[in-house]
Amino acid sequence: MTGVLKTDSSRATGSATEVKQEDNTGKPEPVGERIEELNERKRENNIVVYGVPESGYPTRSERIESDKSYALNLIKECGITSGQEIIVNVIRLGKFIQGKARPMLIKLSTADIKANLFRNLRNLQGNMKFQDIRIANDLTKREREQEAVLWQEAKNLVDSGKGRRRVVGPPWRQRVVKIGVQED
């Protein structure tokens, strides 16, 4: 998007939400929406893995290496091998507390690797090392809220007797679908 930045000159104390950028159509776009769009793009290659136990290493550098090794094993177990670098970075979210498993953010090099990983998650079934983990997209707060609304809609449909439902699809195209027949 190329354009001209405009500020509200009638106020001496303008905030970032008041600054607008015009796109080629001449329609102003709030900067907050633009920042959120950039934030979503930054997250498109990321996954979040829940339930990965913390390693017992005392130093931070040893824990980081252990997490990278775990992430690489997870990806290889899904059948993804590539001549290029697969993992850009692995970090734990939140403060380290002994005995508590923090979510692990894995930054992948491309969106194709992420798509292949989600397609091949079935390869992890039956593997005891990965049985207690859950893998999800790295979502913004707004996307998490939208996903929660869809899950509530699915739950309401199940409660009303319209069959089992699940939320599927990437964050930008999620929908509720029927999965199988509900037994009486």
* Helix, strand, coil fractions of the chain, as percent rounded to 5: 40, 20, 45
pLDDT digits (tens, 9 = 90+) for 40-84: 667 788 999 999 998 888 888 998 899 999 999 999 888 888 766
Residues of the chain with CATH 3.30.70.330: 44-137
b (16+ CB within 10 A) / e for 48-69: bbeebebeeeeeeeebbebbbe
pLDDT band at 35 (very low <50, low <70, confident <90, very high): low
Give me the pLDDT at residue 107, please.
Answer: 93
pLDDT digits (tens, 9 = 90+) for 5-32: 433 433 334 444 444 444 455 566 677 6
Please report, as a single letter, which amino acid is at residue 56.
Answer: G
Tokens encoding 43 = 């997250």
What is the CATH code for 44-137? 3.30.70.330
pTM (2 d.p.): 0.67
Give me the pLDDT at residue 65, please.
Answer: 92
pLDDT digits (tens, 9 = 90+) for 125-173: 888 888 889 888 888 888 888 888 988 988 888 888 888 888 887 766 7
